[in-house]
Amino acid sequence: MDTKNIFEKLRDGDAVNMMDKDYGQAIAHMNDCNKICFKINTTEPDMATIWPLEKQLISGLDESSYIMPPLQIDFGCQMQLGKQVFINHSLTCMAAGGITIEDGVMIGPNVKIVTDNHDFQNRMVLRCKGVHICKNAWIGAGALILPGVTIGENAIVAGGAVVTKNVEPNTIVGGNPAKFIKMID
């Protein structure tokens, strides 16, 4: 008998059928996250008012980190943010598979981070892979980070890049698909 809850199954990359009974917990959580995102996105832009709402969305959010609205995060419980993280406006996270963003990361506007995909034979089955963004990485405006990718420490992802593979530490990548540009001195 499987003792994992739905969130553990998603984070572990297990095949999850969206029609299964336990997926109802995931839908309820997504609805809660949508409501919190709506509150954040319709609140006057004041960090003192918005930050407590962001802390409801992402538990354990450090007070030195900030996500500028508007934003859309579907699975806040599957996200971990480190200290001194700055995320510019219009972030979209499909976070079912888990997103870890370490200390000092900077993310530009209109970035999308995706952890979910669907089975090619049965589209009702989710197959998730987590995304990990390591310390001091910088993600440029409009970048798309796809499932299973790790962005290495101090790496830079150029604006508009589509990242389909891991990015080595201390490197710059860009393009679609993202390719190595150069090492950072």
The pLDDT score that the predictor gives to residue 3 is 87
Which neighbouring-strand residues pair with 145?
Answer: 113, 163
Asked if residue 1 has pLDDT above 70, the reply is: no
Residue that wins the pLDDT comparison between 2 and 183: 183
Cβ contacts of residue 80 below 8 Å, gap of 6+? 58, 60, 98, 99, 100, 101
Measure Cα distances from 156 to 5, 109, 138, 143 in Å. Answer: 35, 15, 5, 11
Separation between Cα atoms, residue 69 and residue 46, nearest integer Å:
10
For the stretch 39-58, pLDDT in tens is 999 999 888 899 899 999 99
Question: Cis omega before residue 169 (within 30°)?
Answer: no
- In this prediction, residue 161 carries a pLDDT of 98
Residue 169 pLDDT level (bands cut at 50, 70, 90): very high
pLDDT at residue 114 in the model: 98
- Map tokens 């150069």 to a residue: 182
pLDDT in tens, 131-160: 999 999 999 999 999 999 999 999 999 999
Active site residue 118: yes
Candidates 29, 89, 118, 132; catalytic one: 118
pLDDT tens figures, 88-107: 999 999 999 999 999 999 99
162-163/144-145 β-pairing = parallel
| CATH of segment(s) 6-183 | 2.160.10.10
Is the pLDDT assigned to residue 2 strictly greater than 90?
Answer: no
Q: Please give the average per-residue pLDDT across 65-69, as a whole number.
A: 94
Distance CA 77, CA 43 (A): 22
Return the CA Rg of the chain. Answer: 16
Residue with tokens 């979910």: 116
- Confidence check: pLDDT of 74 > 90: yes
Average pLDDT of every residue of the chain: 96
